[in-house]
């Protein structure tokens, strides 16, 4: 038998094995109840909203306010790098690699300050709602733990809340 016939036979056997595997080992998923995506299968009717229910706006939800009082830099440093986080926007302001140098023979900073002025800092938020993004990127977060001279590995959290929960226009 020549090589072309062997390849064709191998494909045929592989296809046969896949069919047999599916017949004997793959189970059919359980049937589900009709969903909103298939309205033809639904038998229940949706009650109409009364004008009173539509006219009343939902009550705003409140949360505890968690805001920083002043901007603070948090420094995480070891022999290889020095990372500076800022509580204003909870962003990385500087990421210096101590064993590498830039064109000026200074330790290499991976964060380009000029580009960050135009594009935003690392860990900054980019949201469809630019007003909300600007608010969150300029807010004063509370860093835990705070202060400088932290040694890695360390977990830093930046909680923030202005006291309100806003429902997204795209859904709950």
pLDDT digits (tens, 9 = 90+) for 25-38: 877 777 766 555 55
Q: With pLDDT > 90 as the criterion, what percentage of the chain qualifies?
A: 26
| Report field, pTM of the whole predicted structure over 0.85 | no
Q: Which pLDDT band holds residue 94 (cuts at 50, 70, 90)?
A: very high
Q: What is the structure's pLDDT at 26?
A: 78
- For position 81, what pLDDT does the model report? 92
Burial of 85 (0-12, 13-18, 19+ CB in 10 A): buried
Chain segment 58-80, per-residue pLDDT in tens: 666 677 888 888 999 999 999 99
CA dist 162 and 63 (Å) reads 8
In this predicted structure, the answer to whether residue 171 has a pLDDT above a threshold of 50 is no
């Amino acid at each position: 038998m020549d090589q072309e016939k062997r390849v064709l036979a191998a494909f045929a056997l592989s296809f046969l094995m896949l069919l047999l595997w599916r017949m004997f080992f793959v189970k059919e998923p359980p049937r589900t109840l009709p969903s909103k995506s298939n309205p033809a299968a639904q038998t229940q009717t949706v009650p109409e909203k009364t004008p009173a229910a539509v006219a009343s706006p939902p009550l705003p939800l409140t949360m505890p306010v968690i805001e920083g009082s002043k901007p603070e830099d948090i420094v995480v440093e070891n022999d290889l790098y020095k990372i500076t986080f800022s509580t204003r926007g909870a962003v990385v302001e500087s990421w210096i690699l101590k064993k590498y140098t830039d064109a000026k023979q200074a330790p290499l900073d991976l964060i380009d300050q000029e580009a960050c002025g135009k594009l935003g800092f690392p860990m900054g938020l980019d949201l469809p709602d630019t007003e909300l993004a600007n608010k969150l990127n300029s807010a004063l977060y509370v860093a835990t733990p705070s202060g400088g001279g932290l040694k890695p590995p360390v977990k830093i959290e930046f909680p923030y809340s202005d006291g309100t929960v806003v429902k997204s226009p795209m859904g709950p």
